[in-house]
A = this chain, B = another copy of it.
């Protein structure tokens, strides 16, 4: 049994602490890591800590995403691993939602996932090797009231991931979707002592992503879900 050992990674989208945890964990494995976000200013401490490279890009813009992959290729080489974490959320009664904002949620959460997944696949297909991970949420499998746009974006991303897994797995590319069912703990925040570990520690999530990346191809997961022990589901 030979476990996978990838050398380079691109992480798209930041916001929650998950991308930072992933950057740290993959860097500690000896991988060269690139991080892409619309605004890279806030990433400076992370870059200094990990040596990761940062790129500014709008994941919902086809040209920008193609340019991002070119830039990453020049800096650290084509990524063996691509992780798509970007998403946008919009809540409210259906009748009150602003269509332009709904369109934006779909553009970032779903179309952005397609653009990043396509660029990743094009490069990985040449070597018939690599891994593409998509970050889902409770809303990926359950459409909550007053949260239609987020459900649309996350359901669509799951459909993309499943279709890509069916198409690309037999070509050597591991595609997986992670349903994160609960709130991710923010840096500096603590869970109440009466409910320890009631939010998802982003370092714990990152570890499960690494476990996925190391699965031998004879036993790949296309979907796993993660939730805190005390989460109602």
A10 CB within 8 Å of chain B: no
How far, in Å, is A33 (CB) from chain B's closest CB? 19
Question: Is A13 interfacial (CB-CB < 8 Å)?
Answer: no
Q: Select from chain B the residue with minimum beta-carbon distance to A65.
A: B99
- Does A219 have its Cβ within 8 Å of any Cβ on chain B? yes
> Once bound together, how far apart are the Cα atoms of A1 and B164, in whole Å?
32
Contact B143 A118 (CB under 8 A): no
A92-B69 Cα distance, complex, nearest whole Å: 22
- Whether the Cβ atoms of A168 and B204 lie closer than 8 Å is no
Q: Interface majority SS on A: helix, strand, loop or mixed?
A: helix
Stretch of A36-44, A45-53, A73-81, A221-229 that contacts chain B? A221-229
Q: Does A149 contact B (CB under 8 A)?
A: yes
What residues of chain B lie closer than 8 Å to A118, measured between beta carbons? Answer: 94-95, 97, 99
| Assembled-state Cα–Cα distance A211/B208 (Å) | 8
Does B152 contact A148, Cβ atoms closer than 8 Å? no
Contacts of A146 in B (CB 8 A): 163, 167
A121 touches B142 (CB 8 A): no
Asked if A17 is at the interface of the complex by the 8 Å CB criterion, the answer is: no
8 tightest A-B CB contacts, nearest first:
A155-B159, A143-B162, A143-B163, A151-B159, A145-B167, A204-B219, A197-B218, A156-B156
